[in-house]
């Protein structure tokens, strides 16, 4: 079982009355709400937290990409990962999971192939390349990609990157959106033929169908709780079975905010207000920005509209009134004492059948000391009890070799030129 | 109101569909991003003209832009030229509303000789920061902004949704498809260089706009008038984005005036 430390890197200090007073946390959030001094501190604390997570023995640290928002300040996952690359290279086994890189936003997308090759080279083969389509707010409203073109652009960029990593001779790429006369990647990826690829998504069937057919790990991003996630994974595994594919849990991952404290009561005391800030303030996104026309298929959107989950007005992100109990019971978060979190995680790992959990450990307005406490308690009291799950049953797939053979400062030194 | 005939035209290995009704001089109507409905305006026109209203590719079971590989506005213009050729029109009168107005303007700017008379009903296609600061285009819940008075019978009829959930689903899917397709050619802002091409228009042109248009500011009406040689302009009070429905009689009269004018090529 693998655990990825993820930090959404939120802006932690929006006004208390933000959801009432402002329209959106994304796209048109006023810049005067950003304090550059606080930003400076937050950036450095987040990097400290990532470093702490490497020392704590996570299997990977993961980075997102968002734009024009206070939900996640990481505009560039590759730049953030670069800060941690050396630390990772010197660690026992920790990898860099680039969960962000929204391929349609890079021009030319070859840039992604290059930067991940650079990171893979620095770390001696510890990069995981996870490519999401990106949210509508990021890709359409802020970065201006026509919504109906997003997935087509993504697919073409994905193709270009795979070719750039694998073709041994310089070649010409004549795409619909990208034309390059001479694709000739230097440096080459350290991992051969290329870093493992994952596709994250929020359940759109096209993506996970593609993953199943091409044996690419899919990992599911959802805030909708465990009931919905269970339905998704049931469908996913049934689909693999139908196609005669193996049932190795490492083909699936799950994304989950995880909050550990000494006791269940203390967890609520420690984290409730920060979770509330996450759900009510950082996910305060109006319908008009949640989904540009064409971002999803017309059929999916229309179905939602018929079931009264209208596009206009309401958002597919906004939640109802905040209640800690409700957030825990629905599975929006996993929180409590080490024993509670262990049991709950064990339960969903088994019932979803997932080999990787990407945990969001720095939630909402959580201050630095609590973020560190959460990392410590999870890595000492929870993670060691769960890492053995699947060990005797399935080989690890979709992870760098370094993650399971503990490569090794020695190898780096031995091979130095 | 008799329903129009739907004709299917095989085109580029796919299918286009056109609503047709009336007798007389042919006129083509290009619908906006809300989709094509046979409304009172088209019905009135069909009493005097033979109205051809094509669906934008991808709507109503027609072959979509992806399958036709229409990548940009130029591709779309040439697609419509092909369609007009298949309909047998060397020269024809052209009306376009909103997104359809932008397409009509692009078609006329590319080759004015194809179009004698050109009517643009609150067309998209221009973008100016100072205008957008006063009234941003196409933001938020558009359906609430289409009409000057949402409680008027005209607005209620136009915005009415079917109650049967199955039918409703189909209507919503269609409306999402056309919105997504139109958005494809207007994203992130509906300025794809039309302002550079408008001065090429030599057709007999009229622009009609609702003064209170909440979707596309009526200030753009003057920009179109300035850019198109000899362009006539009519701005209608107490009207938002559907002047042809909100001032039906008036716009029908204006349309007839334009379409019957003797052609004087500029």
pLDDT in tens, B192-217: 999 999 999 999 999 999 999 999 99
Give me the pLDDT at residue B188, please.
95
CB contact under 8 A, A146 and B143: no
Pairing label, strands A179-183, A171-174: antiparallel
Interval B137-156 mean pLDDT: 87
Q: How many of the other CB atoms lie within 10 Å of CB of B119?
A: 28
CB contact under 8 A, B179 and A303: no
CB contact under 8 A, A306 and B168: yes
Higher pLDDT, B171 or B19: B19
Residue B126: CB partners within 8 Å, gap ≥ 6?
B190, B191, B194, B195, B220, B223, B224
The answer to whether residue A374 neighbours chain B at the CB level (below 8 Å) is no
Element (H, E) at A209: helix A205-214
- CA distance readout (Å), A376 to A49, A54, A56: 11, 11, 7
Give chain B's count of helices (H) and strands (E): 11, 8
Residue that has been written with the tokens 């995880």 in this structure: A258
Please list the alpha-helical segments (H only) found in chain B: 40-46, 65-68, 73-87, 99-110, 129-134, 153-159, 165-184, 194-197, 219-227, 243-246, 248-260
Cβ–Cβ < 8 Å for A188, A113: no
Give me the pLDDT at residue A131, please.
94
Cβ–Cβ < 8 Å for B98, B32: yes
Give me the pLDDT at residue A102, please.
95
Cα–Cα distance for residue pair A191/A117, rounded to 1 Å = 9
CB contact under 8 A, B183 and A148: yes
| Residue A187, preceding peptide bond in cis (omega within 30° of 0) | yes
Residue A224 has phi, psi (to 5 degrees) of -90, 5
Give me the pLDDT at residue A221, please.
84
Calculate the dihedral angle through the C-alpha atoms of B168, B52, B142, B214, rounding to the nearest 10 degrees: -150
Q: Which residues pair with B20 in a beta bridge?
A: B5, B52
CB contact under 8 A, B176 and A148: no
Burial degree of A399 (CB within 10 A; 0-12, 13-18, 19+): buried
Give me the pLDDT at residue A311, please.
42
CB contact under 8 A, B172 and A306: yes
A148 vs B165, B174, B181: nearest CB? B181
Give me the pLDDT at residue A310, please.
44
Q: Residue B135 pLDDT > 80, yes or no? A: yes
Pairing label, strands B5-11, B14-21: antiparallel
Instruction: Return per-residue pLDDT of chain A as tens, 417 residues.
Output: 999 999 989 999 999 999 999 999 999 999 999 999 999 999 999 999 999 999 999 999 999 999 999 999 999 999 999 999 999 999 999 999 999 899 999 999 999 999 999 999 999 999 999 999 999 999 999 999 999 999 999 999 999 999 999 999 999 999 999 999 999 999 999 999 999 999 988 877 778 888 988 889 998 887 777 878 999 899 999 999 999 999 999 999 999 999 999 999 999 999 999 999 999 999 999 988 988 999 988 887 887 777 654 444 455 565 667 899 999 999 999 999 999 999 999 999 999 999 999 999 999 999 999 999 999 999 999 999 999 999 889 999 999 988 865 444 444 444 444
Give me the pLDDT at residue B73, please.
96
The answer to whether residue B139 neighbours chain A at the CB level (below 8 Å) is yes
Q: Which residues pair with B15 in a beta bridge?
A: B10
Cβ–Cβ < 8 Å for A370, A269: no
- For residue A6, which of A88, A138, A99 has the smallest C-alpha distance? A99
A294, A297, A309, A311: best to mutate for the B interface, most B CBs within 10 A: A294
Give me the pLDDT at residue A392, please.
86
Give me the pLDDT at residue B264, please.
52
The answer to whether residue B195 neighbours chain A at the CB level (below 8 Å) is no
End-to-end Cα spacing for chain A: 35
């Amino acid at each position: 079982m693998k655990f990825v430390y993820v930090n959404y890197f939120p802006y932690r200090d929006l006004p208390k009355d933000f959801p009432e007073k402002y329209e959106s946390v994304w796209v048109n959030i006023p810049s005067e709400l950003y304090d550059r001094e606080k930003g400076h501190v937050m950036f450095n604390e987040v990097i400290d937290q990532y470093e702490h997570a490497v020392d704590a023995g996570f299997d990977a640290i993961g980075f997102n990409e968002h734009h024009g928002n206070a939900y996640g300040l990481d505009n560039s996952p590759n730049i953030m990962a670069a800060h941690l690359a050396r630390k990772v290279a010197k660690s026992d086994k920790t990898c860099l999971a680039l969960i962000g890189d929204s391929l349609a936003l890079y021009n030319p997308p070859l840039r992604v192939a290059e930067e991940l090759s650079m990171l893979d080279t620095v770390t001696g083969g510890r990069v995981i390349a996870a490519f999401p389509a990106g949210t509508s707010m990021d890709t359409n409203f802020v970065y201006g990609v026509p919504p109906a073109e997003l997935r087509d652009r993504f697919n073409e960029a994905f193709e270009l990157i795979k070719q750039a990593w694998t073709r041994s001779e310089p070649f010409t790429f004549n795409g619909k959106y990208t034309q390059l006369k001479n694709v000739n990647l230097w440096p080459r990826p350290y991992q051969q033929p290329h870093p493992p690829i994952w596709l994250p998504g929020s359940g759109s069937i096209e993506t996970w169908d593609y993953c199943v057919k091409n044996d690419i790990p899919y990992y599911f991003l959802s805030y909708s709780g465990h009931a919905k996630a269970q339905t998704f994974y049931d469908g996913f595994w049934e689909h693999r079975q139908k196609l005669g594919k193996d049932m190795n849990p490492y083909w699936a991952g799950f994304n989950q905010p995880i909050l550990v404290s000494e006791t269940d009561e203390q967890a609520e005391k420690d984290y409730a207000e920060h979770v509330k800030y996450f759900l009510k303030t950082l996910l305060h996104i109006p319908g008009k920005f949640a989904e540009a026309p064409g971002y999803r298929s017309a059929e999916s959107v229309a179905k939602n509209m018929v079931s009264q989950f209208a596009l206009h007005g309401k958002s597919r992100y906004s939640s109802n009134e905040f209640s800690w109990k409700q957030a825990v019971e629905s599975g929006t978060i996993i929180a409590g004492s080490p024993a509670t979190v262990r049991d709950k995680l064990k339960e969903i790992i088994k019932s979803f059948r997932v080999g990787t959990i990407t945990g969001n450990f720095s939630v909402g307005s959580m201050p630095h000391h609590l973020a560190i406490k959460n990392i410590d308690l999870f890595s000492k009291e929870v993670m060691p009890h769960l890492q053995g799950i699947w060990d005797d049953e399935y080989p690890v797939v979709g992870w760098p070799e370094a993650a399971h053979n503990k490569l090794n400062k020695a190898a780096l030194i031995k091979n130095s030129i | 109101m008799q329903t129009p005939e739907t004709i299917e035209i095989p085109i580029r290995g796919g299918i286009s569909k056109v609503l047709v009704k009336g007798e007389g001089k042919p006129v083509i109507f290009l619908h906006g991003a809300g989709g094509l409905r046979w409304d009172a305006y088209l019905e009135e026109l069909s009493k005097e003209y033979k109205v051809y209203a094509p669906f934008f590719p991808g709507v109503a079971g027609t072959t979509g832009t992806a399958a036709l590989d229409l990548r940009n506005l130029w591709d779309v213009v040439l697609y419509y030229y092909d369609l007009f050729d298949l309909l047998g029109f060397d020269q024809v009168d052209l009306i376009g509303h909103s997104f359809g107005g932008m397409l009509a303007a692009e078609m006329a700017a590319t080759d004015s000789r194809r179009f004698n008379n050109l009517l643009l009903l609150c067309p998209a296609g221009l973008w100016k920061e100072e205008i957008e600061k006063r009234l941003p285009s196409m933001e938020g819940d558009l359906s609430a902004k289409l009409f000057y008075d949402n409680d008027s019978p005209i607005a209620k009829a136009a915005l009415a949704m079917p109650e049967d959930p199955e039918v409703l689903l189909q209507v919503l899917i269609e409306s999402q498809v056309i919105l997504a397709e139109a958005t494809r050619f207007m994203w992130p802002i509906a300025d794809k260089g039309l302002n550079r091409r408008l001065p090429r228009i030599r057709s007999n042109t009229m622009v009609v706009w609702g003064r209170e248009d909440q979707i596309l500011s009526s200030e753009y009406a003057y920009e179109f008038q300035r850019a198109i040689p000899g362009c006539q302009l009519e701005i209608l009070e107490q009207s938002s984005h559907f002047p042809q429905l909100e001032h039906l009689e008036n716009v029908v009269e204006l349309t007839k005036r334009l379409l019957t004018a003797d052609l004087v090529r500029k």
